[in-house]
Amino acid sequence: MTIKTVVIVFNPKGGSARGSIVDRMVAAFEAQQIPVSKVETTPEPGSATTLAREAASSGANLVIAVGGDGTIREVVEGVMGTDALAAAYPGGTGNLFLQSNSSTLSPEAFVAMVLSGRRQDVDMIRLEYIDVEGVTHDQWFMTALGLGPLSDAIIISQDVKRVFGKLAYAVNVSKASLTVRPVALHLTLEDDGEKRELSVKADTLIVANVLPPKMAFMSRGCNASDGLMDVIHVGGNNFFELLPTALRYPLGTSDQSRHYGRARTQRLLITSETPVTPNIDGDAGPATTALSLTVVKGAVKMVLV
């Protein structure tokens, strides 16, 4: 596909503005005589999705997200169902999706590789639920969803992440581990019409579309183009039961712990007797007691570098 018009959607609070990354990217496209514009996201929920959808409907055939996992997910959601391609450049704190699917490049090298790259179909996961206030939610994610007390600990405001970076995650998770109380969840997994039932007590439950290399030991072989989601749960009734599993992380053997479990599936229903807060690609959703997740294989067209 020939790139004719480019729009860059970036999160000015996600670190993407540092080092004139976006301006260097614009200059690299202009040097190739390709029209390019840049637009900033706003604090309004779904801002990046709206901007990406407007860009695609206005004729852009490449929309680039510069930001963290949340910004990238919103941009990709915006171009779904259009003829536009999506691409992404890291500009956030975690950037788990790009750790799995991208090289560490200068803005100029990124532009060169995007222009010479090929389209790849990437799965998305559709998330549907009704929150405790009775409001219906229907949204998408492309990296991971988390539930449980340890997942709650990494829901951190943009301002805190911008100041403290990854240290904020480490401090919050360490504090949560000392007083951890697992949440009881019931899982219904469905593949080609066949269902499996599973009840777990989880300090954290992760539903992953993709995992970065440093976390691959949590569910080996997880990737964003296989039509499956990986369901990982880690339990422990207190800090001392959780500790042996945590000590296995540096060795890459946490999946050998008796408090660890995982499965792969096409569809998943999660129910809880008490409200849980979904952590969706790093952003907190409203509390709920039931979530339905479905993999949509090849939902979006991306250029991955």
Distance CA 195, CA 131 (A): 25
Q: Domain range holding 60?
A: 6-117
Distance CA 178, CA 258 (A): 20
The three-point CA angle 18-37-66 to 5° equals: 40
Distance CA 154, CA 156 (A): 6
Indicate whether 99 and 141 sit together in one domain. no
Residue 303 forms part of a structural domain = no
Residue 269 forms part of a structural domain = yes
| Residue 185 region by backbone torsions, left for phi larger than 0, else alpha for psi between -120 and 50, else beta | beta
Q: Which amino acid does the sequence have at 139?
A: Q
Residue 50 forms part of a structural domain = yes
Nearest to 35, CA basis, from 3, 82, 67? 3
CATH number at residue 131: 2.60.200.40
Please list, in sequence order, all residues whose beta carbon lies within 8 angstroms of the beta carbon of residue 217, skipping any fewer than 6 positions away.
Answer: 249, 252, 253, 254, 255
In percent, the amount of the chain with pLDDT more than 90 equals 58
Q: Which residues pair with 141 in a beta bridge?
A: 125
Reported as type and span, the H/E element at residue 112 is helix 107-116
Residue ending a domain, among 117, 136, 171, is 117
Q: Which amino acid does the sequence have at 133?
A: E
Indicate whether 286 and 213 sit together in one domain. yes
How does residue 31 score in pLDDT terms, banded at 50, 70 and 90? very high
Calculate mean pLDDT across residues 96-114.
87
Indicate whether 199 and 265 sit together in one domain. yes
Indicate whether 227 and 279 sit together in one domain. yes
140-181 residue pLDDT tens: 998 999 998 877 655 444 543 443 344 444 445 455 555 678
Distance CA 222, CA 256 (A): 17
Model pTM score = 0.83
Indicate whether 103 and 133 sit together in one domain. no
Side-chain half-sphere exposure of 10, counting CA atoms within 13 A: 22
206-229 residue pLDDT tens: 999 998 887 777 888 898 999 999
- 196 versus 244: which is more confidently predicted? 196
Residue ending a domain, among 85, 117, 149, is 117
Indicate whether 258 and 280 sit together in one domain. yes
> What's the confidence (pLDDT) of residue 110?
95
How does residue 1 score in pLDDT terms, banded at 50, 70 and 90? low
Distance CA 192, CA 163 (A): 46
Indicate whether 170 and 189 sit together in one domain. yes
Residue 1 forms part of a structural domain = no
Structural domain total, the chain: 2
Q: Is the pLDDT of residue 27 over 90?
A: yes
Residue 304 forms part of a structural domain = no
Indicate whether 184 and 208 sit together in one domain. yes
What is the chain's mean pLDDT, rounded? 85
**Coil, helix or strand at residue 297:** strand
